[in-house]
Chains A and B, each alone.
Chain A
Amino acid sequence: MKGKFLNPKNLILVGLTAAALTTAGLSIPQFLTMENILNVIRQTAIVSLVSYGSAMVIIVRGIDLSVGGLIAFCAMISGIMMKSGYPMVLCFAAGILCGGLMGLFSGVMVEKLEVPAFITTLVIGQVATGLALVLGGGNSLGGFSDAYVFIGNGALLGVPVSIYITAFFVTLSYLIMNRTRLGVHIYALGGNEQVVKNQGVSTAKIRYFVFAYSGVCAAVAGILLSAQMNTVHPQQGGTYQLDAVAACVIGGVNMAGGEGKVYLALAGALTLRFLRNALNLIGLHPYYQNLIVGVLLILIVGVSMYRRNKALEKSLIF
């Protein structure tokens, strides 16, 4: 296993990342301050949470474009309930349940009606954004309880609460993907759907779970994001949509399905957030940041698919 992880390709990646961080640290004075690093980690928590679900959906040859909408909608649901005085745990549960159900609905559309995942989830995302706007009357919601803000910005034993949450979900995702039969079935579905069917395994259950899980991840991310900002903004999902996919791609999840590790999506999210942060600190406008992230994404996807096709061509045996 050790040899597998420390192969030349990974070493190059680690080296490049280290070089980039060092350069940024040396040239940008604020970059390596404790405050800035904590800031980046908090933002990473949000992106990485979304990316675990996105990675699973990509592994079954789908894509989840509803996460942006769900980040806003689910946070809005729980925010409105908190404002109405319901207990916080109940509000969280309701928001997460909504995310899960919306994801499940996407899964049903994809499995039963064979609607392409990107269409289904794109529309569900729009509906969720619409609902967030309607529920909030187009306005932001702010001024939440100290307990809620603590979840977003507080720390336990010197470690931000956000880290506990993302750590919990990356562990959960890892266990599902690597230790359960469901995980093997998820990879199998992405590898060859017919084989899964021939074994009599229900592809419906796999898809329902994966899409629902992605919805849950987005909901948790949304609620955490609002806790960090002490605000629910009806369009707060915006950039996270692209960033979640970018985190997966940087983390090596194969866009053609079947391959990828959820914990590497966390690494991808971290890299991405540090990049955005560095661009921020040198004073680059967010518009340009999206441009750069987008170009980076296309480059990585392009190169990895090119390499894959080359490898396929070479592996032809007559």
Chain B
Amino acid sequence: MEKTILEMEHITKYIYDAYGKPIRGTNVKILSDVHLDVREREVHILIGENGAGKSTLMKILGGIIPHDEGTVRLFGQEVRFTNPRQSQAMGVGFIHQELDLCLNLDVAENLFLGQEIGRLFSDKREMYRQSRLMLEKLGFDIDPRTPVRRLSTAHQQMVEIVKAVSRESKIIIMDEPTASLTQAEIDHLFEIIRNLKRQGVSIVYISHRFEELKEIGDRLTVLRDGGYVGTIDMADFEHGKVVGMMVGRELSCMYHCSHRPEAGEVLRVEGLKIGPDTVPIDLTVHRGEVVGIGGLVGAGRTELAKSIFGVRRYFGGRIFYHGRAVAGRTPQQWIDDGLMYLTEDRKIEGLVLPMSIEGNITLASLRRLFPYTRLKPRVETAIAREMIDKLRIVCRGPKQAVNTLSGGNQQEVVLGKWLSAKPRLLILDEPTRGVDVGAKAEIYEIIDGLAREGVAILMISSELSELINMSDRIYVMRRGTVSAEMRDPAAFTQESILAHTL
């Protein structure tokens, strides 16, 4: 057996802000007592649902954020990285989930960023030469002088791979590297990974695509809700077992699905083009219906929602609301008319973080509540209390600032904001992203309850189990358009949805 080169034990990390600093006044853990060991020449799969803590664990290994408790031993030496350069020096390479390139620089400048050749003046010619060699060696046909901005997403991903590989890393973290690659490109990547293994490099590989994992993985570690579930050999891989480990509790108590779609059509979209050259989209949502929208990140799901909601321009097509054609509506007009959009990123687009719970909850209904401009604090507090009780938001009271809440409770505050504005159609964009299992179940219950009251729900989600178990119908999106409509809930499976995403 190959020797173990990385051991992470009892890793615990408390919730932190955008700068990696712990948020005071909270003991919310995003990682709790997590283990990971990686052997030499191994592709170690790290798997878990969104918000399970995979990326956070890897950021600790990559030196981007330090861990709060536990030990990390790399090549037998105990380390606590506070800076990415330290982990790079120890041979850790990192291919990030979000693109980790400066779009305004060229390929070679990105490859050598932070490791430029030369003393006083950098030796550009040498860097271009070496970049060309590295790109050729891995079989990528990219000119190192091209500005990264001009490359396609797949090519940008390749540059990232070259960047991680070129720095003589001993362990390379790949966080969903295939999300934007075609099958041929994925095959190429796997070829590179096998080559790296032969050269003695270990890979920590994060992905959701089961087919891939079986092809490339040696062992697999499952995380759930920031905790460690277990590690298995890929030889023992069983689909149902791994899904069970990822999801944890019984599915039946996780999902509430008691609503029944009604006849009335709420929203109909005809021939909507979200990009100048995309295929038009047709879509309908009925009263009391939960309509799922699946697809990969970047397939245009959020753009579709924003086009409907009037925060983004679209390139042709018509929108009907309760049977009436509407055009050029602003978000304010939509909200007045009962169509609301819960955004994908609550911290950037959903909440005013330093503001109180009550301030956030009443934000979307101020016009309805106080038509004569003057605010009535007592009314605001009463509405916030009602929502806190209804949604079971764990907090000290309506005056608490939302940036001191856990992710799940923050999401419930955003939900509370829209619920208090009385929606008739609610577009939910990743409603359970970065939320723990308990809060997830509560959010599903809320969604189901809304549908039972007759509210139409359009739910964008990257979590297949959520789509499968909550939706009455599913639209799958690919390359800016709807690639499939699935009408029969009995036929919803991970495979059938994935088949339409690529």
Contact = CB atoms under 8 A, between A and B. Distances in A.
A200 B104 contact: no
Interface stretch (B94-102, B184-192, B243-251, B460-468): B94-102
A198 B122 contact: no
A198 B63 CA distance: 8
B64 A191 contact: no
A7 interface: no
A195 interface: yes
Interface string A165-194: 000000000010001110011011011101
A258 B104 contact: yes
A198 B300 contact: no
A179 B103 contact: no
Interface string B127-169: 0000000000000000000000000110000000000000000
Contacts of A188: 102, 104-105, 109, 113
Interface in B115-132: 115-116, 118, 120-122, 124
B83 interface: yes
Contact of B113 (A190, A199, A258, A314): A199
B90 to A, nearest CB: 12
Q: How large is the interface on A (under 10, 10 to 19, 20 to 34, 35 or more residues)?
A: 20 to 34
A198 B100 contact: yes
Interface of B is mostly: loop
Contact of B114 (A180, A192, A199): A199
B86 interface: yes
B476 to A, nearest CB: 13
Contact of A195 (B62, B101, B299, B478): B101
A197 B105 CA distance: 16
A316 interface: yes
B102 A198 contact: no
B278 to A, nearest CB: 6
Q: How large is the interface on B (under 10, 10 to 19, 20 to 34, 35 or more residues)?
A: 35 or more
Contact of A179 (B122, B278, B299): B122
A25 to B, nearest CB: 38
Nearest to A189: B102
A313 B312 CA distance: 10
A175 B113 contact: no
A313 B314 CA distance: 10
Contact of B300 (A175, A187, A318): A318
A199 B89 CA distance: 11
Interface in A187-222: 187-188, 190-192, 194-201
A113 interface: no
Contact of A198 (B64, B121, B298, B299): B64
B70 interface: no
Nearest to A254: B104
A316 to B, nearest CB: 5
Contacts of B365: none
Interface string A100-114: 000000000000000
A43 B473 CA distance: 70
A195 B480 CA distance: 28
B300 A191 contact: no
Contacts of B100: 194-195, 198
Interface in A131-189: 175, 179-181, 184-185, 187-188
B88 A184 contact: no
B479 A318 contact: yes
Contacts of B480: 318
Contacts of A291: none
Interface string B223-262: 0000000000000000000000000000000000000000
Contact of B120 (A180, A185, A196, A199): A180
Contact of A196 (B113, B115, B122): B113
Contacts of A314: 276
B449 interface: no
A185 B110 CA distance: 10
Nearest to B118: A181
Contacts of B298: 318
Nearest to B84: A200
A316 B102 contact: no
Given A200-B84, A318-B480, A195 B152 contact: no
Residue from B63, B94, B122 with most neighbouring chain A CB atoms (10 Å): B122
A318 B104 contact: no
A64 interface: no
B331 interface: no
A198 B114 CA distance: 10
B85 interface: yes
B185 to A, nearest CB: 15
Nearest to B300: A318
A160 B455 CA distance: 77
Contacts of B122: 179-181, 184
B84 A197 contact: yes
Nearest to A184: B109
Contacts of B64: 197-198
B310 interface: no
A195 B276 CA distance: 30
Contacts of A89: none
A314 B100 CA distance: 22
Nearest to B315: A313
B169 to A, nearest CB: 13
Interface string B175-203: 00000000000000000000000000000
A48 B324 CA distance: 60
A180 B121 contact: yes
A280 B86 CA distance: 59
A200 B120 contact: no
B94 A192 contact: no
Interface of B: 62-64, 83-86, 88, 94, 96, 100-105, 109, 113-116, 118, 120-122, 124, 152-153, 274-276, 278, 298-300, 303, 313, 478-481
18 contacts: A179-B124, A181-B118, A184-B113, A184-B116, A184-B122, A187-B102, A188-B113, A191-B102, A192-B101, A195-B101, A198-B94, A198-B100, A199-B114, A200-B86, A201-B114, A316-B275, A316-B303, A318-B299
Interface of A: 175, 179-181, 184-185, 187-188, 190-192, 194-201, 258-259, 313-314, 316-318
Given A192-B102, A195-B102, 11 more contacts: A180-B120, A187-B104, A190-B104, A192-B101, A199-B114, A200-B88, A258-B103, A258-B104, A314-B276, A317-B152, A318-B299
* Among all A-B residue pairs, the 6 with the closest Cβ atoms: A200-B85, A318-B480, A199-B114, A191-B102, A181-B116, A191-B104
